[in-house]
Amino acid sequence: MFACRTACRAGFVRACYPAHPRVAFCATVGPMPSTQTLIDAIKAELKAQGLSYADLARELHLSESSVKRMFARGGEMPLSRVDELCRVLKLEFGELAQRVAEARPLRRELTLVQEKAVVADARLLLTAISCLSLWSAEQIVASYRISDAEVTRYLAELDRLGIIELRPLNRYKLQVAKTFRWRPQGPVMQFFREEVVQDFFAGGFGEDGEILSLVHGQLGHGMARELNERLQRVAADFAQQDLHSRKLPEAEKRSYTLVMGMRSWLFERFRHLQR
């Protein structure tokens, strides 16, 4: 437990205090929180505990104006002062670090490097897609020809890439938004265009809950943008329904894939007929 807290503290120190002498011993992965994020987390905890600046000033043996200046100049707050604040708040440094980490905005898109790494290994890509559907490691092993050891290795790789935060017993937390998208011209979408699209659209789309619709028309620019926003809300609704359905027994669920596209386009075989 001590080692875990030390590691957490070390990474957090490096993130918020890069000039601190302990930084040379720190190893970090993923996006770093800013010092302002740390200050915001402390303020939020003060509010949650019903403590005012005046209360904090008494505990720290400072004037209230000094406390206000301390928070106003958050970027200059020394690590020793953070320790004192944690003592007053009865909060472990590791707990504060965790709250800062959880406050980070989730990614809505991966970097080109991340996508290249994911698509380079078919089983890693399958594990990533399963994680985006919030499947457990046990579900992945039960559904695919991937061993326990391989799942552990792939989850560790996704953690290294910053796509998930791996926790004990192969549990994890997504570091990307549920409605995030693959890069439109990125390697993952290129893989799907070359390897998956034909297989997907070869289906009959006649089963319960399935639909295939092709609509063509002319729209004003404003109407096209409005429709695009509505389609994005449909995608978000699909993701939300997926979360709600996790509570259902496995026998009452089926896997679905929603594909939506909208572009100004003329089928290639018709282009020679265009005036």
The confidence band for 58, taking pLDDT boundaries of 50, 70 and 90, is very high
Residues in Cβ contact with 40 at an 8 Å cutoff, skipping those fewer than 6 apart:
103
**CATH number, domain 2-103:** 1.10.260.40
Is 94 a residue whose pLDDT tops 80?
A: no
C-alpha to C-alpha distance for 30 and 173, rounded to whole angstroms:
13
DSSP sequence for 187-243: HHHHHIIIIIHHHHHTS---STT-----------HHHHHHHHHHHHHHHHHHHHHHH
Is 50 a residue whose pLDDT tops 80?
A: yes
Task: Give the dihedral of Cα atoms 106, 110, 115, 117; nearest 10 deg.
Answer: -60
Q: Where is average pLDDT lowest: 16-25, 160-169, 192-201, 231-240?
A: 16-25
CATH 1.10.260.40 in the chain, residue ranges: 2-103
Higher per-residue pLDDT: 5 or 145: 145
Q: Where are the beta strands (DSSP E) in 232-274?
A: none
pLDDT of residue 119: 94
pLDDT of residue 103: 63
- How many residues are given for the chain? 275
Q: Where is average pLDDT lowest: 60-74, 140-154, 190-204?
A: 60-74
Q: Where is average pLDDT lowest: 3-17, 112-126, 136-150, 229-243?
A: 3-17
Classify domain 106-202 at the CATH topology level.
Arc Repressor Mutant, subunit A (1.10.10)
For 250-271, b where at least 16 C-beta lie within 10 A, e where not — what string?
eeeeeeeeeeeeeeeeeeeeee
Is 108 a residue whose pLDDT tops 90?
A: no
Closest to 37 in 3D by CA, of 19, 52, 17: 17
Q: Where is average pLDDT lowest: 12-16, 94-98, 148-152, 228-232?
A: 12-16
CATH 1.10.10 in the chain, residue ranges: 106-202
Task: Give the dihedral of Cα atoms 269, 270, 273, 275; nearest 10 deg.
Answer: -130
Note the pLDDT tens digit of each residue in 196-207: 999 999 998 999
The confidence band for 273, taking pLDDT boundaries of 50, 70 and 90, is confident
pLDDT of residue 6: 39
The whole-model pTM stands at: 0.59
Average pLDDT value over all residues in the chain: 82
The confidence band for 12, taking pLDDT boundaries of 50, 70 and 90, is very low
Tokens 């994680």 -> residue:
131
pLDDT of residue 32: 43
Decide the pairing of beta strands 164-167 and 171-174: antiparallel
